């Protein structure tokens, strides 16, 4: 078995869609990024690559490449899955954001990831935490972060 961990952080900007795990969450702000900014998928990609010591997301999808402008991160994940055989045992995710409240959306996010990865939803945990109105831009709602830990066989 091998472990992987990933982390991603983006600024939040008004008028941008908030993408998490491949679905859009209703919000007045979303990730400001070169791609669609899905922090959860980006952290997941880094965790997958890390589990096989294959580098990081920038190695394969450099932000300097205009091809990835506003790119759907689900496609980046699909490309990542082609790089190696990832037999995922389980995934545990934290999303750190001040708002909106993610409670009502957690199951949908887990189901979206389960479908993208072709694994059972019971093997995917997604937890949301606020930054308690501290921690600078995370605390003021001007940034969002995600961390992912996973185990592969
Ligand atoms: Mg990112």
Alpha carbon of 97 to ligand 1 centroid (Å)? 15
The mean pLDDT of 7-31, rounded to a whole number, is 96
Distance from residue 24's CA to the centre of ligand 1 (Å):
16
Q: Compute, in angstroms, the gap from residue 121 CA to the centroid of ligand 1.
A: 23
Per residue in 80-134, pLDDT (tens digit) is 999 999 999 999 999 999 999 999 999 999 999 999 999 999 999 999 998 888 8
Find where tokens 């952290």 sit: 43
Mean pLDDT of 45-69: 91
- Residue 67: the pLDDT is 81
Taking the centre of ligand 1 as the mean of its atom positions, its distance from the CA of residue 39, in whole angstroms, is 5
Residue 22 C-alpha to ligand 1 middle, in angstroms?
A: 13
Band of the pLDDT at 19, cuts 50, 70, 90? very high
pLDDT at 11: 96
Centroid of ligand 1 to alpha carbon of 152 (angstroms) = 22
CA 2 to chain centre: 20
Distance 87 CA to ligand 1 centre (A): 24
CA of 42 to the centre of ligand 1 (A): 5
The predicted-structure confidence for 63-83, as pLDDT tens digits, reads as follows 788 787 788 999 999 999 999
Q: What is the pLDDT of residues 20-36, one digit of tens each?
A: 999 999 999 999 988 89
- Say how many Å lie between the CA of residue 148 and the centre of ligand 1: 13
Instruction: Say if residue 136's pLDDT is above 90.
Output: no
Q: How far is the CA of 134 from the centre of ligand 1 (A)?
A: 22
What does the pLDDT read at residue 16? Answer: 94
- Distance (Å) from CA 29 to ligand 1 centroid: 16
pLDDT at 65: 81
């Amino acid at each position: 078995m091998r472990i992987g961990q990933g982390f991603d952080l983006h600024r939040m900007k008004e008028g941008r869609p908030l993408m998490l795990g491949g679905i859009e969450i209703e919000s007045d702000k979303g990730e400001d990024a070169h791609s669609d900014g899905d922090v959860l998928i980006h952290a997941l990609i880094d965790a997958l690559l890390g589990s096989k010591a294959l580098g990081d997301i920038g190695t394969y999808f450099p932000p300097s490449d205009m091809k990835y402008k506003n790119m759907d991160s689900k496609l980046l994940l699909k490309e990542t899955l082609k790089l190696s055989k990832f037999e995922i045992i389980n995934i545990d995710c934290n999303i750190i954001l001040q708002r909106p409240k993610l409670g009502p959306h957690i199951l949908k996010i887990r189901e979206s990831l389960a479908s993208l990865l072709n694994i059972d939803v019971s093997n995917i945990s997604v937890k949301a935490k606020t930054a308690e109105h501290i921690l600078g831009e995370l605390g003021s709602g001007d940034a969002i972060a995600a961390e992912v830990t996973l185990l592969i066989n």
